[in-house]
Amino acid sequence: MLPALLRPLIERLRPVADAFQGRGRRLYLVGGVVRDALLGIEPSGDVDLTTDATPDEVLELLGRDATHLNLAGVRFGTVACRLVGLDLEITTHRGEAYDPASRKPAVHFLSAIADDLARRDFTINAMAVELTTSDPSLIDPFGGFEDLLAHRLRTPQDPSTSFNDDPLRMLRCARFLARFDLEPAEELVAAVHELAPRLAVVSRERIRDELSRLLLVEHPSRGLWFLVETPLAAQFLPELPALRLEQDPIHRHKDVLAHTIAVTASCSPRLRLRLAALLHDVGKPATRSIGPNGVSFHFHDVVGAKMARRILRELRYPNDLVEDVARLVELHLRFHTYAQGWTDAAVRRYVRDAGNLLDDLNELTTCDATTRNERRRKLFATRMEEFTERAADLAARDALRAVRPPIDGNEVMRLLGLSPGPLVGTAMRWLTDLTIEEGITDPDEARARLLAWWRREHPEPSGTT
């Protein structure tokens, strides 16, 4: 059975297939494009192809029409290019496996499509369609289509062999479970429990990238639960399963782990926001205390921000993303005091402190309110809507997102008779705070207020004539 969605793609690839066939080589569509077509998903993005041609032969067969040639993966058998209006990745049939002590897999080339498909991560990705034939049909030696229909995740080989060959595949399970709403085969789960420590041979960067892909799945909950219900999360993010705090019959509180996964799934699939949601309560285990009023987690926002910064650095996330996520974690409780009544200055300060993170912070705060009490949920939503409108109104009146004093440093030095130095900075900071607190925009008022403040802070010595 050939998925109908693949027919236009096969026709576009006909000139490429003819070139390979003319040299006596075979060319196959493989992997995600085949899987997605079987699921009724229109092919998009890079098109993966596999062949029995060597990388040198592939380069020769592509000819001069290929553009955007990328040879970064050629030593692993992959040639990337743009041809017939498509972004192609053509890989020589290959197998790969990690040495027990190595962080880099060794690659060896194969000659048969069945052998290439056998080394794929999951059966649903181990399907192909031969292009170098007059009658293209589905090649599915390991039952991937049947597994798609049954919503089942399996490996083509014994899972222990597959995960030993590339331990990152264990982590990849989480993403595929979540993305396609699958159930893992029992033998797959057993192998993960046995081999999870093998993740130690995988680089932090590869683990980081796979975690990011999982977090960007529309509904990541099933994958996140798989990580914590197996030993996987403990290998690279032990702070996540640590959120499963022991519950005692007297001082019960919200299940922090379940809450965290729910909040993460509720947030929009943007990496910065999803990482902040995943880590927003990471400081709770370290700050949990029991007092007369029950369980509390004082300062878990501050502690959590420090932990988030450390965790993300260890996973090699970019510094700007690390700082943004840590800031969101640090600020995620701030809005809850809004019910006590904020002045305009407090609204300005909140928006100023959030900066370009404001939209993400508001969404994180909203998703964090996971109460089952419908009245409380509606009340919170009303407050957030009121705050958003109020902040927008203030922004329109006094350019809130880029607050600057109405007069600059040169004017300050002229008014106060100062030369460049620390006192100018002190005066500018005072003016900035005044602008934030009172929304002053008139330069004459700013000058008058500045002079009055300066005279209070720096009175002339008595007896001066």
Indicate if 152-236 has the same CATH topology as 4-150. Answer: no
User: Under CATH, which architecture does the 4-150 domain have?
Assistant: 2-Layer Sandwich (3.30)
Q: Report pLDDT for 248.
A: 46
Those residues whose C-beta lies under 8 Å from the C-beta of residue 217, and which sit 6 or more positions away, are 175, 178, 179, 223, 269
Question: Angle of helix 422-438 relative to helix 409-416, nearest 10 degrees?
Answer: 110
Predicted confidence (pLDDT) per residue in 169-186, tens digit? 999 999 999 999 999 999
What is 237-400's CATH number?
1.10.3210
Give the residue-averaged pLDDT of 160-166.
93
High-pLDDT (> 90) share of the chain, %: 57
| CA 159 to each of CA 120, 174, 186, 263, 364: distance values in angstroms, whole numbers, following the listed order | 11, 15, 10, 32, 38
Three-state DSSP class for 10?
helix
User: Domain residues of the chain, as ranges?
Assistant: 4-150, 152-236, 237-400, 404-457
Residues across the chain:
465
Contact 409, 438 (CB under 8 A): no
**Could you tell me what percent of the chain has a pLDDT over 70?**
90
Neighbouring C-beta atoms of residue 7, cutoff 10 Å: 12
Q: Which CATH architecture has domain 152-236?
A: Orthogonal Bundle (1.10)
pTM to 2 decimal places? 0.79
Distance of CA 160 to the CA centre of its chain: 28
Averaged pLDDT, 82-95: 89
92: left (phi over 0), alpha (psi -120 to 50) or beta: beta
Non-local (6+) Cβ contacts of 198 within 8 A are 98, 163, 164, 167, 170
Dump pLDDT digits (tens) for 222-261: 999 999 999 999 999 999 999 987 554 444 446 889 999 9
The residue type at 357: L
Q: In 3D, which of 281, 438, 442, 252 has the Cα closest to residue 367?
A: 281
